[in-house]
A and B are shown apart, each in its own frame.
Chain A
Amino acid sequence: MIVCERKPFEEIKEMMKGIRKVLNVGCGGCTSICMAGGQREVGILNEELQNAFKQDGASFHVDGFTIERQCNADFFQELDVIASSYEALLSMACGAGVQFLADRYPQKPVFPALNTVFVGVDRDIGWFEESCRTCRECVLGETAGICPVTRCAKSLFNGPCGGTAQEGKCEVSKDTPCAWFEIYKRLKDQNRLENILKVKPAREWRNQTQGTLVQEAYKKRYAK
């Protein structure tokens, strides 16, 4: 799941300055689940904004509308009907959703209300943990299901480095477990320690242009 957090209120308010009528668009997907940009959060932010501008004596009106997903054109139909009557749009989706919204309404200023933080897992209600950097070269099969790119401070493919402190902590902080120490322990438990001796070639970092993926079965359909 994509995990987001709300931007500081003052930053959002600053973006809204000079706009009199804005529609805050919530997302019913990941940002609802991570409690950052669903219908509930849209309502909370709108009240805060309305009150803040009222106190400043500024003319400002904000409405809310939550669509099921801001990353899929199929869900924009109802928004199309109402978006035109607003000066600007505020999006409570992830960065992908904000861009999709801006592409859909290119004449309108679109502002992000959230910061997209990471791809992660739910540890508990309201507790999320980063677990993938979407590096496009997954090595989890060799590292016992522990991602060295995400969990090692240096994103080392061949570890550990010399900075592994006592009890398997990372040199950057005694509270941070060394990813490669964790990998070592799990591989040992699985009798797969030979994996750690394999030297992995350097990652193709230069290949960081915008990604597009068409699944094999659909390649014919989208062929140009």
Chain B
Amino acid sequence: MENSKLGQEMKPVDVKKIKEMLNLKKGKMKRYLSHCAHCSLCAESCFLYMAHHKDPQYMPAYKAIHSLGTLYKKKGKVDRKLLTKMKGIVWRNCVLCGRCYCPIGIHIPSMITFARSILRSQEVYPQPDEVSAESWL
């Protein structure tokens, strides 16, 4: 379960590990993903969405679907490029303030947290020497 060994940034993606992690919470997370009605009610509860002139990339549902949703859809078979793109979604576009509201009770922060954990297991997380957070996307 270790997620913090050094110098693994350039190692190939450990798909087996991602699959194992995805399977651990498969029931709950897939239920969350399938129950999303795309009503977009979560959007206006997100201060980042509002601050970015309602850019759809900042909609909580978008963030969960395009990170964790993609990981499930691809059954964990992802490359580092895609993981890096997800890094932008789950770190730059979300501060995990936990204020997103879903009328059917989907807990979006737990989905983003889980996606972050999976990324961390592959040594994908924000680095202090990154030129700009914008470069993630």
Secondary structure of the B contact surface, majority rule: loop
Digitize A105-128: 1 where CB-to-B-CB distance is under 8 Å, 0 elsewhere.
Answer: 000000000000000000001100
Q: Counting CB contacts under 8 A, is A199 at the interface?
A: no
Question: Given that A35-B128, A74-B109, A74-B110 are known contacts, is A63 also in contact with B2, CB under 8 Å in the complex?
Answer: yes
Task: Count residues of chain A with CB under 8 A from any CB of chain B.
Answer: 29
Query: With a CB–CB cut-off of 8 A, which chain A residues contact B113?
Result: 68, 74-75
The answer to whether A69 and B1 touch across the interface, beta carbons within 8 angstroms, is no
A47 to B8, CA, bound (A): 14
The answer to whether A39 and B120 touch across the interface, beta carbons within 8 angstroms, is yes
The answer to whether B3 and A68 touch across the interface, beta carbons within 8 angstroms, is no
The answer to whether B3 and A64 touch across the interface, beta carbons within 8 angstroms, is yes
A38 to B109, CA, bound (A): 20
Known contacts A26-B4, A32-B126, A67-B117; 8 additional CB pairs below 8 A are A24-B4, A28-B125, A35-B128, A38-B125, A40-B6, A42-B4, A65-B2, A125-B128
Q: Which 4 A-B pairs have the closest CB atoms?
A: A64-B4, A43-B6, A42-B4, A63-B2
User: Residues on B close to A: CB < 8 A?
Assistant: 1-6, 24, 96, 98, 109-110, 113-114, 116-117, 120, 123, 125-129
